Amino acid sequence: MDITIRNIDERLYRRLKAMAALEGIPIGAAITQAIKVWLEREKRASDVSLLDMKPVSFGKENARLSEEIDEILYACGSEE
């Protein structure tokens, strides 16, 4: 289905488009996946245990995201 959506943040759209390209999926599939995740958020918050959650890929450029967050929050390794 072809749909026109107005007033989308251009920076966010470009990031989504780049991530979709890295994952090798069309932008429409990426948007569909984002909508699905957004619509299921309430179900996940109330019905899902942490043990039931599946890993999510944030793309190759974010492979160290968890470590970078730790470095920022806990100043790990910044006093060298």
H/E element, 72 = helix 65-74
The pLDDT tens digits of the residues spanning 4-27 come to 989 999 999 999 999 999 999 999
Which one is predicted more confidently, 62 or 44? 62
3 located within any domain: no
**Number of structural domains found in the chain:** 1
The pLDDT tens digits of the residues spanning 21-54 come to 999 999 999 999 999 988 887 766 666 677 877 8
In this prediction, residue 17 carries a pLDDT of: 93
18 located within any domain: yes
79 located within any domain: no
68 located within any domain: yes
Residue 31, CA distances (Å) to 25, 39, 54, 80 in order: 10, 12, 19, 42
Host domain of residue 59: 10-74
pTM over 0.75: no
2 located within any domain: no
